[in-house]
Amino acid sequence: MGIEDRRFDVNLSILFTELPLLERPAAAAAAGFTAVELWWPWVDSPTPARPQLDALKGAIEDAGVRLTGLNFYAGRLPGPDRGALSLPGEESARFRANVEVAADFAGSLGCTALNALYGNRVAGVDPAEQDALALENLALAARAADRIGAILLIEALNRHESPRCPLVSAQAAVEVADRVNEATGLGNAMFLMDLYHLAMNGEDLPRVIETHAARTGHVQIADSPGRGAPGTGSLPLADLLDRLAKAGYDGWIGLEYQPGGRPSAEAFDWLPREARAAR
């Protein structure tokens, strides 16, 4: 499979952030992309007012791009927060309030993947209590995703940037997805394979691909170190994407990297324009 046969989308929560949110879908389209993904855009509001939701929906539709992935509410990203669903008290309540709102918004745009980020460990709280809360909330999210015909994504982060996050390996994330599927019987919880995070954890990426490609519902890329565009670090991303294709993965590849002190529109020189529009 050549690069032109792959399906790339742009994460508008890390690229084009020099622009207001509602201008980013059109900017991605102007750069040649036909698909975008987002972290939950309203970091302080799991249940934004209808005009805010409608304005973003309209911006995506007017730009002529497809929304391929959306995070559930996860607190401040980027920042110290890494998810809300396993945090006792107010934050997990905010996550639960967001579940149907996020699913309805995603469904209205034909989005087929929802990402639920695990929360940090909390001092003084039994990890088993947090894991039980997480499973309860992930099952709720899986059912909401299933209602709109979407999958639920479980992502591993990296221990350097998220030292209190318990999901810092591919195996840990896959095991959580398995527990969610067992709890719901839906089978729609899948692994989000973020090659940057896994590389930062020192994982054997060819082995991760060989072992977990069949359980992978989405892939995200950034070079490492630095979380920049492909070619700015030392990851053999072209080879890794070839391995993914040979292992049978033909889904979306999210560009979730930092533009590196330049306008985002200039951060795609590694990817020919003709390869940016999804086939």
Residue range 96-125: mean pLDDT, rounded: 97
pLDDT of residue 49: 97
The amino acid sitting at 102 is A
- Say if residue 1's pLDDT is above 60: no
Give the pLDDT band (50/70/90) at residue 115. Answer: very high
Per DSSP, 233 falls in state S
Q: What is the pLDDT of residue 4?
A: 63
Q: What is the mean pLDDT of residues 114-139?
A: 97
Q: Which residue has the higher pLDDT, 75 or 204?
A: 204
| Band (152; pLDDT cuts 50, 70, 90) | very high
pLDDT of residue 279: 72
Is the separation of the CB atoms in 85 and 119 below 8 Å? yes
Contact predicate 70/92, CB 8 Å: no
Whether residue 80 is predicted with pLDDT greater than 70 in this model: the reply is no
* Chain mean pLDDT for the chain: 96
Average pLDDT (150-174) is 96
How large is the average pLDDT for residues 133-157?
98
> Cβ neighbours of residue 185 under 8 Å, at least 6 residues apart?
none
Number of folded domains in the chain?
Answer: 1
Residue 50: pLDDT band (50, 70, 90) is very high
CATH number of the domain within which 142 lies: 3.20.20.150
The residues assigned a catalytic role are 155, 256
C-beta separation of 148 from 113 below 8 A: no
Residues 6+ apart with CB under 8 A from 133: 85, 86, 87, 88, 92
- Percent of the chain clearing pLDDT 70 (strictly above): 97
Arithmetic mean of pLDDT, 54-77: 95
Omega cis (within 30) before 78: yes
Could you tell me the residue range of the domain that residue 38 belongs to?
A: 3-275
Give yes or no for residue 138 having a pLDDT over 80. yes
CA–CA dist 262, 260 (Å, integer): 6
Chain-centroid distance of CA 66 in Å reads 15
